[in-house]
Amino acid sequence: MNRDVTPALAKEFGLSADEYANVLSIMGRTPSFTELGIFSVMWSEHCSYKSSRVWLKTLPTKAPWVIHGPGENAGVVDIGEGLAAIFKMESHNHPSFIEPYQGAATGVGGILRDVFTMGARPIANLNALRFGSPDHPATKRVVDGVVRGIGGYGNCVGVPTVGGEVNFHPAYNGNPLVNAMTVGIAPRDRIFLSAAAGIGNPVVYVGSRTGRDGIHGATMASAEFGADSESKRPTVQVGDPFTEKLLIEACLELMATDAIVAIQDMGAAGLTSSSVEMAGKGGVGIQLDLDMLPQREAHMSAYEMMLSESQERMLIVLKPEREAMARAIFEKWELDFAVIGHLTDTGHIVIKHKGVVEADIPLDPLAEKAPLYHRPTQDTPPQPPLGPITSTVSPVDALATLVACPDLCSRAWVWNQYDSTIGGQTAKRPGAADAAIVRIDDHSLALALTTDCTPRYCAADPRMGGMQAVAEAWRNITATGATPLAITDNMNFGNPEKPIVMGQFASAIAGMAAACTALDFPVVSGNVSLYNETDGTPILPTPAIGGLGVIADAASAVGLALQPGLELVLIGDTEGQLGQSLWLREIAGREEGPPPTVDLAVERRNGDFVRKQIIEGKITACHDASDGGLLVTVAEMAMAGGVGVHLAAPTPGIDVNGWWFGEDQGRYVLAVTDAAAVMLAADAAGVPVRRLGSTTGDRLTLADGSFVTLAALKAANERFFPAWMDQV
Amino acid sequence: MKSAIVVFPGTNRERDVAIALHRATGKRPGTLWHRETELPAGTDLVILPGGFSHGDYLRCGAMAAHSPIMPAIRAFADQGGHVLGICNGFQVLTEAQILPGALLRNAALRFLSQDCHLRVERAGTAYTRHYQKGQVFRAPMAHGDGNYNADQATLDLLEGEDRVAFRYVTPEGETATSANPNGSARSIAGVYSANHRVLGLMPHPEDLVDPLMGGTDGAPLFAGLVEALAA
């Protein structure tokens, strides 16, 4: 039922007093209930980026290979051979705590639409997941639902889920993060945009019918969780991957014709944001007649239809003479197709329902007077240096503990619920390489895809953490032999009205920007999720990075599995930086110290060297040394290949735990047949290199004779998820 | 060999099987929309690919089994035509009662995407002429409902008529509970019709036909079909 519009109602809708005053000045009158709803969602944090815009503008977004940067539905880069890769990552955090299965499933559905709406066939999904402590009573339910939801949607639409990351930390107990990424491929000259054009052109609605699900979802995503978050369940949308699959095929079939002027999916804020953004970008007006809207429920009001976040819907501006042909395509796929309005020259959005004008808002001020905040920031105080740390746990015992811990254990239980092989192009499946390798059908060309972030580094030093997240994505792509091209970012933070949180955001952006510039790795799309707090406690700052690279011949990409009879060399310097390391947390029981330092010039130099060696065919396997440090890196390579390693003694003068478990950046472990040749090449390139050991037998043996068998390591590594999730 | 790949709403592995056939034949196979009522003239092989036809919203394959194209496929099978149903296609064939039995939820009640090992139980069919009896090959599987079941009499009949096509086994070729990923009765991964020309199986040999994708274990199945049906 429509309610009287008052300042109190505006506040309830999430508009501040100043924002409501702005609404009154734009309208010159008290807005209608529907108009107030439109303002409140368009000016929500989720849709307007009002706290983050000033900082996002500082990110580098350009490179010769970037076709469309931020501002479109997804980023577009030229990958050669006449093709473009279209990709983006987006969060569905708040819904995934309230209703994990549907929250995660619709997160996948939403990001798929962002990509195929631009004309791309989706070829890969990835994700970045952060859960609360495994000991927390809610975590198991959330993990189970989120993993089932991602699989349930992705498997059904037939897009392989090829990679991702899973972390646990108590800071996510009441606020898990579900970040979903989709990558698609389109002909470079067939990219579809959202700017509407052509006064009088029909505005067409296709896909699922509109129901009452998800009303005010964007507003929910712009507020903190409290004790009442369970009561917000009705605002979570319900996904229908079957309809999405039909929508993909129907849209791609239509896109092969010349019928489309503009197209956009209905995501957050549904019909409101899609119609406002399409008309706004095109500088035209739009008139919608909601009587024509395909509806799933009876007696829906204009307000409900405009704010519904029902899934699997698209808005298309068609060339009028192509309407019949377009309708036939959607009818073949058994999808609703309805002309619900047309473009006008008024510059207004006008909503009619049952003969009544329910909303009439000028579009320019709705966009131009959208709130923009320069919120106060406060720097995170630097962590005091870590003093000497001693431990009575031997390196091999520490290794066995580390590979079993939730943050380092095998993720097979998760991956095995995702179809990773559909499409027949997955050359490196989850866990096989530092980045997933997905070939383009009928080409040798392949994409290298990864998601990365180390939130504990970001909490300790947001600038260094932001830099590290970008550097690690770049490094993971490099470690396969691919050339990193661009990233999408998913900025997950707490309440931006708190200066310490806004400071984390600003510093992380500064670190990311420095890394993007130094590594020629621009941001082409992204998403911001703020207010990730429960009862006043924010999550760890989590700027998740989705990286995309390209390799000319999929056959030259390398994985991390060792083979017998190889030599191992380490690229990069090791000081033994244990601050914020997993060894420090899991073995010494401390979460402190500064995170490892990222030297971008060194990162670039080392990575460019490694990539060149891989492409020249000199490397059999490669793995970057990151979480857990050097010994964990070698152990992961050994477990993947089922081959043991005999390791050389640490470099003299370095703390033994720092050597094996320090998380120093910019390092790679290479498995090669001719170590001398690679070392000579490294010396010539000014890249630090040393011999690390050789592959042999069925155990990991240190120079002092201590060892752990691969069988024991694998058993420890594979124990956690099945034991935790499948116990009766 | 002229093959027709049937596409239902929600079918999603039609491109995978087309790639495998293209590699085996050098030709791109045609697809057939489920609303058609006749097979293209001269069809040698009908393939029902994997996917989630109609979203699997009723039982897997139950609605597709009533699609307009199905009477033509049934008639083709009755006349001795070769029909290959993979994953959802296998489910459609059992729902249409072209093959016996049913595919239930995986025993672990989770979707499983992993490689499995299959043992060839009968060599010499159009599908297995390039394999030996007892040969073990690897294939990816990706399904939530692949737990093959039938009553004991039907299972005995299938064994007696040599109609069990493949069983889930260890890499060494032994049946074992640990090697039977979805809990199928008697570890059955695929079954034949009485004339051994209709084959339904859950795993995806079509996704393992390229060394770059991890192996070519599935390629002999398609090579055998080409040889058997090219004449």
DSSP A511-533: HHHHHHHHTT--EEEEEEE---E
Run of H or E including A86? strand A83-91
Say whether pLDDT at A228 is over 70: no
Residue B56 is predicted with a pLDDT of 94
- Categorize the per-residue pLDDT at A388 as very low, low, confident or very high, splitting at 50, 70 and 90: confident
Which residues on neighbouring strands pair with residue A547, listed in sequence order?
Answer: A450, A487
Q: Which of A659, A640, A654, A508 is nearest to A581 (CA)?
A: A659
CB A477 within 8 A of CB A547: yes
Catalytic residue among B54, B87, B116, B117: B87
**Residue A418 Cα, gap to closest chain B Cα (Å):** 6
Chain B interface with A: residues with Cβ < 8 Å: 9-10, 12-13, 15-16, 19-20, 33, 50-52, 54-57, 108, 110-114, 140, 142, 144, 204, 206-207, 209-210, 212-214
**Residue A304 Cα, gap to closest chain B Cα (Å):** 27
Put simply, the answer to whether A242 touches B52 (Cβ < 8 Å) is yes
Say whether pLDDT at A306 is over 80: yes
Instruction: Show the tokens assigned to B15.
Output: 């491109």
Helix (H, G, I), strand (E, B) or coil at A189: coil
For A127, list phi and psi in degrees, rounded to 5: -155, 165
Cα–Cα–Cα angle for A40, A46, A50, nearest 5°? Answer: 80
- Categorize the per-residue pLDDT at A234 as very low, low, confident or very high, splitting at 50, 70 and 90: low
Across all residues in chain B, what is the average pLDDT? 97
Residue A3 is predicted with a pLDDT of 84
Mean pLDDT of A373-386: 96
Residue B177 is predicted with a pLDDT of 96
Report which of residues A230 and B32 the model is more confident about: B32
> How many angstroms separate the CA atoms of B44 and A197, rounded?
50
Whether residue B130 lies in the annotated active site: no
Residue A368 is predicted with a pLDDT of 87
Across all residues in chain A, what is the average pLDDT? 95
> How many angstroms separate the CA atoms of A270 and A315, rounded?
10
Rounded to two decimals, the pTM is 0.96
Q: Which residues from B are below 8 Å from A442, CB to CB?
A: none
Residue A140 is predicted with a pLDDT of 96
Mean pLDDT of A222-230: 60
> How many angstroms separate the CA atoms of A9 and A12, rounded?
5
Share of chain A above pLDDT 90, in %: 92
Residue A237 is predicted with a pLDDT of 81
Alpha helices in chain B (DSSP H): 14-25, 70-78, 88-95, 152-160, 219-229
Q: Give the best residue of A108, A246, A422 to mutate against chain B (max B CB count within 10 A).
A: A422
Say whether pLDDT at A620 is over 60: yes
Closest by Cβ to A422, choosing from B9, B16, B144 = B16
Residue A213 is predicted with a pLDDT of 82
Mean pLDDT of A629-645: 98
Mean pLDDT of A521-535: 94
CB B19 within 8 A of CB A422: no
- Categorize the per-residue pLDDT at A269 as very low, low, confident or very high, splitting at 50, 70 and 90: confident
Say whether pLDDT at A73 is over 70: yes
Mean pLDDT of B185-213: 97
Q: Which residues from B are below 8 Å from A416, CB to CB?
A: 112-114
Mean pLDDT of A320-333: 96
Residue A1 is predicted with a pLDDT of 64
Whether residue B196 lies in the annotated active site: no
Catalytic residues of A, by residue number, are 46, 92
CB B41 within 8 A of CB B9: no
If one counts every other C-beta atom within 10 angstroms of the C-beta of residue A677, the result is: 12
Nearest chain B residue (CA) to A727: B108
Mean pLDDT of A354-383: 95
CB A327 within 8 A of CB A294: no
> How many angstroms separate the CA atoms of A633 and A705, rounded?
19
Put simply, the answer to whether A421 touches B140 (Cβ < 8 Å) is yes
Q: Which residues from B are below 8 Å from A156, CB to CB?
A: 10, 12, 52, 55-56
Put simply, the answer to whether A424 touches B19 (Cβ < 8 Å) is yes
Instruction: Show the tokens assigned to A219.
Output: 């507003």
Say whether pLDDT at A214 is over 80: no
- Categorize the per-residue pLDDT at A267 as very low, low, confident or very high, splitting at 50, 70 and 90: confident
- Categorize the per-residue pLDDT at A489 as very low, low, confident or very high, splitting at 50, 70 and 90: very high
Closest by Cβ to B111, choosing from A151, A157, A423 = A151
Put simply, the answer to whether A421 touches B142 (Cβ < 8 Å) is yes
Say whether pLDDT at A728 is over 60: no
Say whether pLDDT at A407 is over 70: yes
> How many angstroms separate the CA atoms of A541 and A511, rounded?
13
Cα–Cα–Cα angle for A154, A121, A275, nearest 5°? Answer: 90
Query: What confidence tens digit (pLDDT) does each residue in A89-125 have?
Result: 999 998 899 899 999 999 999 999 999 999 999 999 9
Nearest chain A residue (CA) to B11: A158
Q: Which of B111, B83, B85, B114 is nearest to B11 (CA)?
A: B85
- Categorize the per-residue pLDDT at A217 as very low, low, confident or very high, splitting at 50, 70 and 90: low
| Chain A 413-472, residues with CB within 8 Å of chain B CB atoms | 415-427, 429, 439, 441
Mean pLDDT of B169-184: 97
Residue A227 is predicted with a pLDDT of 56
Residue A339 is predicted with a pLDDT of 98
Query: What confidence tens digit (pLDDT) does each residue in A273-293 have?
Result: 999 999 999 999 999 999 999
Q: What beta strand segments (E) does A319-465 contain?
A: 336-344, 348-353, 356-362, 426-428, 436-439, 446-452
> How many angstroms separate the CA atoms of A350 and A276, rounded?
10
| Chain A 120-179, residues with CB within 8 Å of chain B CB atoms | 148, 151-152, 155-158
**Residue A651 Cα, gap to closest chain B Cα (Å):** 38
Closest by Cβ to A157, choosing from B12, B56, B210 = B12
- Categorize the per-residue pLDDT at A177 as very low, low, confident or very high, splitting at 50, 70 and 90: very high
Say whether pLDDT at A654 is over 80: yes
